[in-house]
Amino acid sequence: MSKCIGVLALQGAFREHVAALRALGVETREVRQLRDLSGTDAMVIPGGESTTMGKLLNELGIMQPLRERIDSGMPVFGTCAGLILLCREIVDSQQPRLGELDAVVRRNAFGRQVDSFEENLPVPVLGPEPFPAVFIRAPIIMNVGSGVEVLAHVTQDGDKRAVAVRQGNILAASFHPELTEDTRFHKYFLDMCQS
């Protein structure tokens, strides 16, 4: 059965995700309002500005229905701001969120002086080649619950911090696979959608 992947298209880098998925031959749908959710089998939440996206999700009445779909097992892939929206706890912030990922996240965790950077990141589930991870005002995961698998980490001030995680049907990365030519993260997500 062919799947339709929804890409939350309220704000941020959604076009790049749509392009990456289409390049892999997948049907996509831009989700701008509640009714766009029906008929989608999975969902991508892109990078952008998590406070704005969270506010819009509430205003458009998408937040709770999306939360329920994730609860009932719909695969979801959040990148950067999308990861933030998925997390249960956001350090020093009460901003609206889905809160489905058992993790504590810190926004803009690499400081102003390193606004964005690229790093060849080992991600063992994707194979031996490191992944070209583009970080843009990126969050970092401070803590994860026991049901969360860490797929990649960086070392910050001597501590290992997760930057890509999976919790069952939830995949999240603090960087932007959609901005690179490397399709392995999207393929990994599509595998999650098939199983």
Binding stretches for ligand GLN (CB under 6 A)? 47-50, 80-81, 84, 107-108, 136-137
Nearer to ligand GLN, 111 or 158 (CB): 111
Q: How far is the CB of 18 from ligand GLN (least distance, A)?
A: 16
The least distance separating ligand GLN from the CB of residue 81, rounded to whole angstroms, comes to 4
Judged by beta carbon, residue 41 or residue 95, the one nearer ligand GLN is 95
173 touches 80 (CB < 8 A): yes
Strands 27-31 and 159-167: unpaired
Minimum Å gap between C-beta 32 and ligand GLN is: 18
Q: How far apart are CA 120 and CA 123, in angstroms?
A: 9
CB 138 within 8 A of CB 105: no
| SS3 label, residue 23 | helix
Determine whether 73 is exposed, middle or buried from the number of CB atoms within 10 Å of its CB (0-12, 13-18, 19+). exposed
- The residues assigned a catalytic role are 80, 176, 178
CB-nearer residue toward ligand GLN: 60 or 168: 60
Closer to ligand GLN at the Cβ: 3 or 55? 55
Closest CA relative to residue 165, chosen from 157, 154, 156: 154
Q: How far is the CB of 146 from ligand GLN (least distance, A)?
A: 26
Half-sphere exposure (CA, 13 Å, Cβ side) for 175? Answer: 26
